[in-house]
């Protein structure tokens, strides 16, 4: 856990830093927002920023967003100042911590951030060979390609690999290739010099340099433009990169992990992915099975998410009833672990008794894919034409629009989650939603951009 404290270190803020250090965090301190931004631009990574509420937190968070630096910010200030707390939260801070600090509160926030990144639950027998493979190759520097359906936990697996590696004390840096426009992804990966292009107001260290000595995750790499793939291949082969607008190559020392929810061999055949890059990445392949093939993991994951969201919402912990366990295990989980997490979040909010009963578990997409694929095939073959009456007479575009809008509503407007459940890229989803908005169709959550997740 890397904590960056922004503000004057004397007094209560310094005490908070010492408490975090005692809890195992690596703490860095910078006294101004401008200094913090420069440090982050220059590759000083952080998992969490704790910022003095007397500083301009709104400007700080706006700058982070405009420069695509994704780090949660927690505000802190003397006393329980409700006005300051509201102002900080409205500016985008995740939490407000009153000072002098409470050691348990500091520990809880650090633990919440750590759990978000590190929770890895795998008890099903299908996962055992996978974990054995990680144990064998984890300490090496071999590139690893993690494949699997959307929502299976590929980024969580990548973090697990990093913790098992000899680079565990180094940075783990993640880039979602599907969430960053093509014209910005090169700068995000390799960095840029001041003035290299319009909007390059300062030199920015890229993700390759930030991950130096650690692990770089290229999430959903199949979404990367094929022209940029050539530059990525050179970086992997030569172990050096060129900043956009730079004049000198920069040596790098990273362990590369990539993920994809697509069949990269098919992408290679279709000329959408470079064959030489595929072989560079695919030194070790780990295929994460879908949740419907990991039945023994469903209940432990559900219980973990139930505890997580009960705590996050200040609600009492509730156990799953036997009927709820049966419902969860029988579901097909098209959205995999991510869909299960959303389901349990809703269940925690909707539960009205000492246990989580089936009426609180709103399962989605049951009309699209039954839990037994073999049965689906048999039923489709024997189903009379009248069973399609609900779709006959409708255009494919109409059905697609309803599916996309319903899925987005199910995900509470979160585009990244919706795209993963639908099995399309975030870029495709954005284009569809823009089309629907132009046509006057109400879109859940509006057209605002969202932070991307894997």
In a domain, 15, yes or no: yes
Q: Which pLDDT band holds residue 348 (cuts at 50, 70, 90)?
A: very high
- Do 334 and 397 reside in the same domain of the chain? no
- Do 217 and 142 reside in the same domain of the chain? yes
Q: Which pLDDT band holds residue 378 (cuts at 50, 70, 90)?
A: very low
In a domain, 353, yes or no: yes
**Domain boundaries, position 323:** 292-360
- Do 309 and 434 reside in the same domain of the chain? no
Q: Which pLDDT band holds residue 79 (cuts at 50, 70, 90)?
A: low
15-24, 26-35, 309-318: lowest mean pLDDT where? Answer: 15-24
Judge whether residue 262 has pLDDT over 80: yes
pLDDT tens string 137-165: 988 999 999 999 999 999 999 999 998 89
* Number of domain units in the chain: 4
Average pLDDT, the chain: 84
CATH code at position 165? 3.40.50.300
- Do 193 and 57 reside in the same domain of the chain? no
pLDDT for 369 equals 43
pLDDT for 397 equals 78
Higher pLDDT, 370 or 343: 343
CATH code at position 409? 1.10.10.60
- Do 402 and 266 reside in the same domain of the chain? no
CATH code at position 89? 3.40.50.2300
Judge whether residue 58 has pLDDT over 80: yes
- Do 189 and 248 reside in the same domain of the chain? yes
In a domain, 77, yes or no: yes
- Do 282 and 144 reside in the same domain of the chain? yes
- Do 145 and 260 reside in the same domain of the chain? yes
Residue that terminates a domain, selected from 251, 266, 287:
287
- Do 144 and 267 reside in the same domain of the chain? yes
CATH code at position 319? 1.10.8.60
In a domain, 444, yes or no: yes
- Do 160 and 282 reside in the same domain of the chain? yes
Judge whether residue 221 has pLDDT over 90: yes
- Do 299 and 276 reside in the same domain of the chain? no
Residue that terminates a domain, selected from 67, 82, 116:
116
Q: What percent of the chain has pLDDT over 90?
A: 44
Judge whether residue 127 has pLDDT over 60: yes
In a domain, 126, yes or no: no
Judge whether residue 71 has pLDDT over 90: no
In a domain, 260, yes or no: yes
In a domain, 148, yes or no: yes
- Do 281 and 309 reside in the same domain of the chain? no
Are residues 270 and 103 in contact, defined by beta-carbon separation less than 8 angstroms? no
In a domain, 88, yes or no: yes
| Mean pLDDT along residues 250-262 | 95
Residue that terminates a domain, selected from 267, 287, 307:
287
pTM of the full structure: 0.67
Q: Which pLDDT band holds residue 297 (cuts at 50, 70, 90)?
A: very high
């Amino acid at each position: 856990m890397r904590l960056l404290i922004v503000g004057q270190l004397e007094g209560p803020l310094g005490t908070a830093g010492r408490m975090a250090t005692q809890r195992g965090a690596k703490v860095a301190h910078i006294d101004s927002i401008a200094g913090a931004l420069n440090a982050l631009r220059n590759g000083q990574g952080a998992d969490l920023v704790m910022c003095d509420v007397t500083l301009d937190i709104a400007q700080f968070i706006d700058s982070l967003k405009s420069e695509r630096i994704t780090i949660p910010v927690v505000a802190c200030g003397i006393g329980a100042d409700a006005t300051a707390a509201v102002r900080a939260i409205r500016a985008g801070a995740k939490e407000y911590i009153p000072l002098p600090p409470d050691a348990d509160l500091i520990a809880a926030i650090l633990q919440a951030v750590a759990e978000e990144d590190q929770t890895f639950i795998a008890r099903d027998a299908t996962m055992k060979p996978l974990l054995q493979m990680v144990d064998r190759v984890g300490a090496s520097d071999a590139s690893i390609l993690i494949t699997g359906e959307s929502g299976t936990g590929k980024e969580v697996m990548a973090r697990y690999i990093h913790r098992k590696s000899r680079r565990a004390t180094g940075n783990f840096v993640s880039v979602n290739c599907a969430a960053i426009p093509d014209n910005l992804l090169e700068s995000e990966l390799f960095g840029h010099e001041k003035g290299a292009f319009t909007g390059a107001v300062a030199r920015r260290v890229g993700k390759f340099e930030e991950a130096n000595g650690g692990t770089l995750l290229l999430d959903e790499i199949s979404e990367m433009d094929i022209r940029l793939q050539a530059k990525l291949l050179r970086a992997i082969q030569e172990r050096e990169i060129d900043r956009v607008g730079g004049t000198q190559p920069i040596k790098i020392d990273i362990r590369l992990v990539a993920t994809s929810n697509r069949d990269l061999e098919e992408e290679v055949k279709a000329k959408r992915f470079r064959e030489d890059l595929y072989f560079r990445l695919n030194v070790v392949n780990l295929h994460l099975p879908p949740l419907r093939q990991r039945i023994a993991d469903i209940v432990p994951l559900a219980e973990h998410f139930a505890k997580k969201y009960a705590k996050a919402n200040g609600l009492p912990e509730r156990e799953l009833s036997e009927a709820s366990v049966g419902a969860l295990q029988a579901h097909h989980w098209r959205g995999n672990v991510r869909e299960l997490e959303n389901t349990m979040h809703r269940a925690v909010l909707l539960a009205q008794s000492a246990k989580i009963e089936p009426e609180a578990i709103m399962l989605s997409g049951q009309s699209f894919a039954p839990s037994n694929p073999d049965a689906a095939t048999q039923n489709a073959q024997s189903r009379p034409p009248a069973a399609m009456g609900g779709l006959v007479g409708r255009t494919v575009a109409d059905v697609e629009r309803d599916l996309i809008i319903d899925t987005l509503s199910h995900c509470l407007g979160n585009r990244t989650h919706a795209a993963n459940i639908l099995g399309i890229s975030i870029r495709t989803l954005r284009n569809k939603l823009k089309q629907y908005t132009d046509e006057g169709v109400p879109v859940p959550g509006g057209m605002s951009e969202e932070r991307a997740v894997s």
